[in-house]
Amino acid sequence: MRILTRLSLLGCLIALLAGCTPEYNWRESTVAEDRGVIMFPSRTKIEQRQIEVEGAPASFSLISCAVGDAVFSVGYVPLPAALTGEKSAAFVKTIVSSLAARAGKQAPEAALKGEIFTLDTVVANQPSMLMAKVVVHRGMLIQVVVSGPKQSLSNENALEFVRSLRLR
Q: Was domain 24-167 assigned CATH 3.40.1000.10? A: yes
Q: How far apart are CA 68 and CA 157, in angstroms?
A: 13
Which residue from 165, 138, 31, 37 is spatially nearest to 79, judged by alpha carbons? 138
List the chain pLDDT tens, one digit each, 168 residues: 555 455 455 444 444 444 455 589 999 999 999 999 999 999 999 999 998 887 778 899 999 999 999 999 999 999 988 777 888 888 888 889 988 988 888 888 889 899 999 999 988 899 999 999 999 999 999 999 999 999 999 999 999 999 999 999
Q: How far apart are CA 40 and CA 44, in angstroms?
A: 7
Q: How far apart are CA 131 and CA 103, in angstroms?
A: 10
Residues in the chain: 168
Dmax (CA) of the chain: 74
Residue spans of the domains in the chain: they are 24-167
- For residue 106, the 8-state DSSP code is P
Beta bridge partners of 147: 71, 130
What pLDDT, on a 0 to 100 scale, did the predictor assign at position 22? 59
